[in-house]
Structure 1
Amino acid sequence: MIQALVFDFDGLLVDTETPALESWQQIYAEYGCSLSLDVFQHALGTSDGFNALDHLEELLGHRVDRAAVAARRRTLKTELSKNQPLLPGVESILTEAQTLGLACAVASSSDRGWVERWLKYHNIRHFFACVRTADDVIRTKPAPDLFLSAATCLNITPPHCLVFEDSPNGILAARAAGMRCVVIPGAVTQHLTLPAGDLVLPSLHAIPLDGILAHLA
């Protein structure tokens, strides 16, 4: 029986993955380089994978001012993210979970400042009993640590947690944590081959939460 829901953040609640890619693409273009999704996909859902700064320097054949580039990229990503609304179905599924008495958590490979900022910006922070980020674990997705940490925080055993994810690394992390997973491909990840989930939906509002739970039961 599902007793808790654990949500990814980037690309699932808010499409911050498009700004993540576009901000790097803009910086690469300024250096006369390009960055494709095929390459960037290894950065999605994790802080331990593809390093865009390393890759830029490899393409250029020389070092850049890494602090300046990272700061500029963060500014670009933030500005682009301000234009992104909550994705369809986010508020309704969180409200349904509240009505059904299901605890909710966020488990994200982004840093805490980033996640907390947008949860508050979109006025949904109060729905989550726990928020677990890269600041809380040694290994981010595809390792299971974030999801296991969220389960511990909620005091719910992993088999009774249901994960909602959009990225390959996140889906693999949910599997490794022993949790069932609903896959919601995002604007960026819909172009990728995703690992199998227990259920695949086009959006969070495709089926009411009680219908999702009934399907998985």
Structure 2
Amino acid sequence: MANYSKVDHVIFDLDGLLLGTEEIYVEMFSIICGKYGKSYTFDVREKVLGTVESDSCAILVKEVNLPMSPQELLSQQRLLQREMLPKTKLMPGAERLVRHLHQHGIPIAVATSSSEESVNLKLTNHKELFSLFHHIVMASSDPEVKKGKPSPEIFQICASRFPDKPKPDKCLVFEDAPNGVKAALAAGMQVVMVPDEHISEENKQLATLVLHSLEDFKPELFGLPQY
């Protein structure tokens, strides 16, 4: 059995991990690409996963060869977001795990590459659950976050905003994207990956633990209170 270290703080990614937004983003980017006779393939999506909004748009414009600037793409994306993101649903096992950790006094936070505007849209129907988090770092609109994932910066800043400023080895990160896994490891944290089914085996190998679903997580593996 693998040897996991005991932790006492937990940091969650948001998109594709707690919230099932990835399919909405696929639909959104597919609509935009389709207007120009282009398609949004999984190869491109894998590069975009977990990146801040400005980087996502820059990658997409370059990879798909869209006839617009990244800023123009971001404007189109934001129009579609307002209509589509409030429909976001929770991922299986997310609510149970968040409530369990909160009830046992484990400090929890969110570190997302999204902007405050898009996070507010996604949380339209989930405000009560997300009020249980100590804080949410939103990299696309947080002035302190200069570099997006795979830079470790977002996780370092997120840990520093807990009142007791835990050391990296006391933080466990939950991620779905390879860029996020790299960022958490670079920050010196253990990381549980719950990847999209299309993610390549190669891109799962760095994670401390890989799960099919949050429903499969056993908190006691990392010294957290068991269900």
In which range does the TM-score fall when normalised by the shorter chain?
A: 0.7 to 0.9
**Offset, 1:53:** 3.3
Distance 2:171 2:15 in 1: 19
Query: Structure 1 stretch 47-56 or stretch 102-111: which is displaced more?
Result: 47-56
Aligned 8 A contact 1:96 1:209 in 2:
no
Where does 1:137-148 land on structure 2 (aligned, <5 Å)? 137-148=145-156
- TM-fit CA distance, 1:9: 0.6
- Distance across 2 between alignment mates of 1:37 and 1:170: 17
Q: Is the 8 A contact 2:86 2:123 kept in 1?
A: no
TM-score, normalised to structure 1's length?
A: 0.85
Residue identity (%)? 33
Are residues 1:165 and 2:179 paired? no
In the TM superposition, 1:37-116 aligns within 5 A as 37-47=42-52, 48=55, 50-56=58-64, 58-60=65-67, 63=68, 67=72, 69-116=73-120
- The within-5 A match list for 1:23-38 is 23-38=28-43
- Write the deviation string for residues 177-199 of structure 1: whole angstroms up to 9, x where unpaired: 000011111xxx32022232111
Instruction: Give ranges in structure 2 of 5+ residues lacking alignment.
Output: 1-5
Q: Deviations over 1:17-45 (max 9, x none)?
A: 22112211111111112221102221110
With 80-89 and 161-170 compared, the bigger mean Cα shift is at 80-89
> Is the 8 Å Cα contact of residues 86 and 124 (structure 2) preserved in structure 1?
no
Task: Give the SS at the match of 2:46.
Answer: helix
CA distance in 2, matches of 1:170, 1:28: 25
In the alignment, what sits opposite 2:125? 121
Match of 2:219, as an amino acid? Answer: L
User: 1:209 matched to which residue of 2?
Assistant: 219
TM-score (norm 2): 0.82
**Cα RMSD for the two superposed structures:** 2.3
- Once the two structures are superposed, residues 140-186 of structure 1 have per-residue CA deviations (whole angstroms, 9 ceiling, x without a partner) of 1000001000111112111100000000000000100000011111x
Provide Cα deviations, 1:27-83, integer angstroms capped at 9, x if missing partner.
111111222110222111012355323445x355xx47953x533322324433333
Cα distance in 1 between the residues matched to 2:207 and 2:70: 41
User: Partner of 1:82: helix, strand, or coil?
Assistant: helix
Q: Secondary structure at the match of 2:10?
A: strand
Runs of 4+ more than 4 Å apart: 63-66
Contact between 1:163 and 1:179, CA under 8 Å: does it hold in 2? yes
Which secondary structure state, in structure 2, belongs to the residue aligned with residue 114 of structure 1?
helix
Q: Distance in 2 between matches of 1:77 and 1:201?
A: 29
Return the offset for 1:86.
0.7
Measure the CA separation in 1 of the matches of 2:191 and 2:119.
Answer: 21
